[in-house]
Structure 1
């Protein structure tokens, strides 16, 4: 009993239960299946438009068999010159199109799930070459082009910054893709950025990848 107020004081067990209830309320919902359904629908529309595209982001990671919990949206890389056609075709198929203030993407919404149509990955424009390197993979049984593993890692590393630097989320991706990634190209395209360089060095220390030539120590790319 709280003598000052005359009300019961929660026990230790009660406090644990309250903390658990609050944590459950603040955790984002798992939208994995709902996002996959929208991903398949959008991919079908984009394939019918004959525009080049590739699945990117967390759903691309999922397509490579790396366990991730999908919570926010599905992302597709498209060329800027195809934006008008892509948005028109998606709009004709019931996707609500929203043009945000950012000039590097267009947002859509379908069945309550967010769709990002991206023209630039970490300030690098989506090019024909990048899209042509995409790998065709099944995403929940529907085949679609998925960003190539090296391009996926380059995009993830160049997106790291002082304000967004979650190595914990990126480490399973690097481990899962390590044998399919050209790490020399990753170093060439992203390694001059401080956060990317730090993450690559962490991978060396953990024996996920071989160290840079001339650096002492051992490691393995596979």
Structure 2
């Protein structure tokens, strides 16, 4: 996909890409999230907020990681990119084939259509509750889906337990850990993380034998 630059100079005077950048990085990411979420809602796109800003919407701290993540279905990615481009945001395709990227208020926006190695589905989006992100309500990944996506991203090449541990602590009462064990517990890195959570008394060890399978 080529970069989408959007409208004429006269029309772009009111585009979100030209608005002043908040001085604080976390606040800038939050403002960019609100701008993009409001645009997607206005144009009727199905989506759900993911990543560290989704954790914030579920009651986490406002210490965001690097960007704002939005989940969209693969078949909707081009339409979402067009909407953002027409609003003046630069949208482009990175080397990775599971997302598109955009810039808003100088912040990175990830438009993810494969989450944790699996396509984003209507079912995933439909069970995402609408929550306030500061002053803007938008769909946010349900806690179990959020943890599933984070744990499912663990691999031999990317395995940052330290970033996900506080999220698991925060959301532990809202997560269906049996479901996550069923789907991810047979994979080495997710299984190691679940074992760590048990040793730290974040979650209760399962009853019965450990799962033998899991998605690749």
Q: TM-score range by the shorter chain?
A: 0.7 to 0.9
Using the alignment, how far apart are the partners of 1:69 and 1:52 within structure 2? 26
Displacement, 1:214?
3.2
Q: For 2:199 and 2:100, how far apart are their aligned partners in 1?
A: 39
Q: Kindly provide the CA deviation profile for residues 167-191 of structure 1, in whole angstroms up to 9, marking residues without a partner as x.
A: 2221111111011101111111111
Is there any run of 5+ residues in structure 2 with no aligned partner, and where? Answer: 1-22, 210-216
Q: How far apart are the structure 2 equivalents of 1:34 and 1:55?
A: 16
Higher RCO (CA < 8 A, seq sep 6+): 2
- 1:62 is matched with 56
Query: Does 1:138 find its partner at 2:132?
Result: yes
Q: Tell me the distance in 2 between the aligned counterparts of 1:209 and 1:73.
A: 29
Matches within 5 A, 1:10-159: 31-67=25-61, 69-159=63-153
Q: Which of 152, 155, 159 is the aligned partner of 1:165?
A: 159
Comparing 146-155 and 202-211, the one that deviates more: 202-211
CA shift for structure 1 position 69: 2.0
Q: Partner residue of 2:196? A: 202
CA distance in 2, matches of 1:205, 1:70: 27
Deviation at 1:30, TM superposition (A): 6.1
- Normalised to the residue count of structure 2, the TM-score between the two structures is 0.82
Tell me which residue corresponds to 2:181: 187
After superposition, what is the alpha-carbon deviation per residue over 1:15-66, rounded to whole angstroms, capped at 9, x for unaligned? Answer: xxxxxxxxxxxxxx96210000010000011011212100001111111122
User: Secondary structure, in 3 states, of the residue corresponding to 2:138?
Assistant: strand
Query: Which structure's CA Rg is the greater one?
Result: 1
Which structure 1 residue ranges, 5 or more long, are not aligned? 1-28, 216-222
Aligned residue pairs total 187
Q: Does the aligned pair in 1 maintain the 2:52–2:65 contact within 8 Å?
A: no
- The alpha-carbon deviation at position 209 of structure 1 amounts to 1.1
**Is the contact between residue 30 and residue 70 of structure 1 (CA under 8 Å) also seen in structure 2?**
no
Conserved in 2, the CA contact under 8 Å of 1:30 and 1:71? no
